[in-house]
Chains A and B, each alone.
Chain A
Amino acid sequence: MVSRRDIFKYAAGGGVGVGVGLLLGEVNQRPLETLLSTHIPPEDFSPGIDTWYNTLCRMCPAGCGISVKVREGRAKKIEGNASHPVSRGGACALGQASLNALYNPDRLRSPMRADGEGGFIPASWDEAFDELSARLGALQAAGMGRRVWVLTGGALGSGEEALSRFSEALGANLLRLALDTTANEQAAAKAIYGFEGLPHYDIASADLVVSFGADFLGSWRSPIAYAKAYGEFRQGANGRRGHLAQIEPRMSLTGANADEWLPARPGTEGALALALAAEMLRRGRGGEDVANWGGLSGAMSLAGAAEQADIPLARVEALAERLAAAETPLVLGGGAAGAGTRGAAALSAVAALNRVLGAPGGTVRPNLGHAASYASVPDIEAFASQAASGNVSLVLLAGVDPAHDLPDSLGIRRALERAELVVSLDSFINDSASQADWVLATDSFLETWGDDISSPGAGSLTVTLQQPVQERLFDTLSITDIVLRLAARLGGAVAQALPHADAQAFTRAEWARVWQSLGLNGDFNERFRLAQQNGVWDAPLAEGMADTISPEVPPPPAAPGSEFAGGESEYPFVLHPFVTQGFREGQGANLPWIQELPDPLTSVVYGSWAEVNPATAEQLGLGMGDLVEIESPAGKLSVPVVVHPGVRPDVIAMPLGHGHRGNGRYAKGRGANAASLLAAQSDSATGALAWAATRVALKALGKRGRLTRTGGLSRTLGRQILGPGGEH
């Protein structure tokens, strides 16, 4: 029997149900999306259809041509430009991740001025230019242009030309800063091959490559170009599979790909190369051009060099055997091998080995680009001492972050504190910019004009055009634009040197100037239009333009071992800082795609680490992820340990580019900065910064650090992927 009361209950239940249903419907409703119309659409605007623009990647100095996919007026994806002779369709992780810089939430949207309390407040371009030009004008009028210092990075091309002309007309000092040993490579090329600039290495046509510290597949010089060439070298473009031997104290990406990895003691690479060169001469490999070298009587014996380098003599002899038998061998030298206190001598020894093997003119050729000349340690110290004595009035940081990328021991951070006015031209408040009075927000390279001459190039003169692929997102200007506007306001000699309206006009004018200086015929406008389309001008060479190899040069100097800062008893390990493709010296740290990309050898993400040999780890009682304090004569830091067999027991390896004080949310406070450990060592011949010549001590802190790795097993779990006998 259903009662009246029951009926009420059923009805109430139904009512509650309907309410619940309505609520569910409301909650599950698709949120409304907006479809924002354009105001005035760009000329090439078709919603849903890609437009690809060829331009230049500026994330490192390699000068790769890239193709950028643009949709609805926004850059969406970066690939290599297939018709570019350097990149040949390849693009590295850092280049692809440069979109993260363009759309970064921490990117500056307008000029910023310091508020005096460690923060920054937005300002207008007019305010910035008013103050800057007033200061510069006063200094110029007082004849004190020398008190202005322009610090820039390694980029070449029109942008660099504008900065040089600006500094010159102002009478200012220009310092090119990078953790770089180009000067050593140039000195070696000049001494042994007899030409200016960096050599072009033809890896593809070699049958044997011996690399002394050059991580050419990961980070050295032009990894994309070398990786393409390496593919041909390995897959037998000339009917045979090339053999690769890598000599370095810590296994790099190139070392991991090599047929043999020889972990030589740091700083002994030059002596080993010279001993091999002498051995080759003994075996009669040298030609007429080295007849005056007297058999390199000053070189060590193979046995002596093997012992010094701590490599079994049998392995060195086997390598000598291969070198002697090779038809088109190529020896590379770079990275840490060229960054000791005897780096130039070590690279000269490597070049001498090439010369004895007959590589110059074959696998080693003159390069047609011009490499940047970086500031030497004495140059940087001069800047620091000028600042310390109060003689620096204005520092213009043009897209560099020396407070992070260079060792503290050089005194740049202190110099920036002492300078009267510091102006940073950057897209982020990076470590150096946080010390600035003004930070002028710059464009992404995808929003502006410029160019670069690839060095090392592809064996021809490769000039790549940089053009905007989209409109500016924010109220920003390029470094060239800022320099040109400042010049216009300053007037006089500076304005005369730089009379152009903007970066586009300046780039075009520079191309026209080069066009004329090369004496080229034809329609320049048509050429420029083609370059905009193809992204590159693979230029024909005028007669006599190419450098040539000297027929005869004096014998190479002896290659003594590198000297290290810090005594061996107090600091028992050599610090091996290494560059990774994604982070470089710090340029990739604010890009989330780079932070989340596992390191190819250790699979670490979002943080830095120190690589320690298992034997050393056992001795010190360290396990994977344990926190250690690393101390050098120049500084100390703490970092988690990766126990890794690919590093010598007497070496501690650390990636560069981590540990920022600023530079946005993805970089700030993540990892530790290996550069802060480096002593202010320099090359005895060129004065280049010897960034691989510091010893360190290691102390376990007795706690675990934060180490995030995507892998973790070094075993193959029976998958037999290492071939017979490779199972463990």
Chain B
Amino acid sequence: MPRRQEWELTLSISVFEAARPVFTGLIVAAMVVVGAFVGHWAHGAWLNDHTPVQPIEFSHEVHAGENEIPCQYCHAWADRSASAGVPSVETCVGCHKGLAEVRDRPEIEKLFGYWERGEGIPWVKVHDTPDFVHFRHKPHIRAGVECQTCHGPVEAMARVTRRVDINEDLRMPWCIDCHTEEQVANGRDCLTCHY
């Protein structure tokens, strides 16, 4: 027994104490790495612009929610094309020129500004897939997938956000899970989306 104690004592004095600055350095380095992960996660969770500010503070809550305008009234190509499309300024003005009660609101003034200058509105993209993914709206809409499945409850959003917990930011496993569950033809084939 005394012998073992002696051994421990020798170790603690000669090895641990000598290596002490190294251990501290390693722990600090590990803290930096852990901190970096935490920081990156925190950025994604709170600081990332999931909810971009648009050139006009257009509210889907008012249009799709309160007034119950169907999605495809404005995003008219969703069942016909790869892209759902954004409405032309003409579409917006088509309704709004008959809505005198909101005509003098600042955001509506902005809309008529674009209309009178003959310009398009540079909306900021909220949902986007990388260039190597070819997402097409048409087959999804025709298969009866609700817009909200991917886009979340847009009708309840004053400003559209892609921070919707269910779709994990439109990542591939989420697509594949749905394709598998619904037994989509060629739904697990790489070339269905990556071509």
Contacts and interface: CB of A to CB of B under 8 A. Distances in A.
Given A16-B35, A17-B32, A35-B124, A47 B89 contact: no
B90 interface: yes
Contact of B35 (A15, A30, A37): A15
A36 B120 CA distance: 6
B49 interface: yes
B81 A37 contact: no
Interface residues of A, number: 35
Contacts of A41: 88, 90
B48 A25 contact: yes
A21 B120 contact: no
B158 interface: no
Nearest to B117: A39
Contacts of A21: 35-43
A32 B49 contact: yes
Contacts of A6: 24, 27
B: interface residue count bin: 35 or more
Contact of A14 (B34, B81, B123): B34
A662 B128 CA distance: 42
A675 B160 CA distance: 62
B125 interface: yes
B157 interface: no
Contact of B39 (A11, A13, A25, A35): A25
Contacts of B81: 46-49
Contacts of B31: 10-11, 13-14, 17
B113 interface: no
Contact of A25 (B43, B52, B89): B43
B35 A33 contact: no
B2 interface: no
A22 B124 contact: no
A24 B90 CA distance: 41
A20 interface: yes
A12 B39 CA distance: 14
B88 A38 contact: yes
B34 A17 contact: yes
Contacts of B100: none
A24 B89 contact: no
A40 interface: yes
Central interface residue in B36, B118, B136, by most chain A CB within 10 Å: B36
A225 to B, nearest CB: 34
A18 B83 contact: no
A22 B87 CA distance: 36
B89 A18 contact: no
A6 B26 CA distance: 12
B85 A47 contact: yes
Interface string B164-183: 00000000000000000000
B39 to A, nearest CB: 2
A168 B174 CA distance: 72
Contacts of A30: 128
B77 A49 contact: yes
Interface in A648-676: none
B57 interface: no
A29 interface: yes
B32 to A, nearest CB: 4
B127 to A, nearest CB: 10
A11 B24 CA distance: 12
A265 B128 CA distance: 64
A322 interface: no
A19 interface: yes
Nearest to B84: A47
A48 B76 CA distance: 12
Contact of B32 (A20, A32, A33, A39): A20
A24 B121 contact: no
A122 B66 CA distance: 51
Nearest to B81: A48
A34 B38 contact: no
Contact of B121 (A14, A37, A47): A37
A29 B162 CA distance: 14
B70 interface: no
Contacts of A38: 88-90, 120
A11 B121 CA distance: 48
Nearest to B55: A34
A21 B44 CA distance: 10
A25 B48 CA distance: 8
A17 B32 CA distance: 4
Given A10-B28, A37-B87, A37-B121, A18 B80 contact: no
A46 B77 CA distance: 7
A12, A15, A17, A20, most chain B CB atoms within 10 A: A17
Nearest to B137: A48
A159 B31 CA distance: 76
B33 A36 contact: no
A16 B32 contact: yes
Contacts of B89: 37-40
Nearest to B83: A48
A49 B84 CA distance: 11
A18 B35 contact: yes
B28 A47 contact: no
Contacts of A22: 39-40, 42-43, 47
Interface in B91-129: 114-115, 118-125, 128
A368 B73 CA distance: 53
A41 B85 CA distance: 12
Interface string A289-331: 0000000000000000000000000000000000000000000
A38 to B, nearest CB: 4
A37 B39 contact: no
Nearest to A34: B122
A9 interface: yes
Contacts of B39: 17-25
A47 B77 contact: yes
Contacts of B86: 35, 37
A126 interface: no
Contacts of A39: 88-90, 114-115, 118-120
Contacts of A24: 36, 39-40, 43
Contacts of B41: 21
A18 B28 CA distance: 13
A15 B43 CA distance: 14
A5 to B, nearest CB: 9
Contacts of B32: 13-14, 16-17, 20
Which of A14, A22, A37 has most chain B Cβ within 10 Å?
Answer: A37
Contacts of B40: 21-22, 24-25
B22 interface: no
A16 B37 CA distance: 11
A26 interface: yes
Contact of B48 (A11, A29, A33, A40): A29
Interface in B112-158: 114-115, 118-125, 128, 136
- In the A-B complex, list the 6 residue pairs whose CB atoms are closest, starting with the nearest: A17-B35, A21-B39, A25-B43, A13-B31, A13-B28, A48-B81
Given A17-B34, A38-B90, 10 more contacts: A12-B28, A13-B28, A13-B29, A14-B32, A19-B39, A25-B40, A34-B122, A35-B124, A35-B125, A46-B80
14 contacts: A12-B28, A16-B32, A20-B32, A21-B36, A21-B38, A24-B36, A25-B48, A29-B48, A33-B124, A35-B86, A37-B89, A39-B90, A46-B81, A49-B82
Interface of A: 6, 9-26, 29-30, 32-41, 46-49
Interface of B: 24, 27-44, 47-49, 52, 77, 80-83, 85-90, 114-115, 118-125, 128, 136
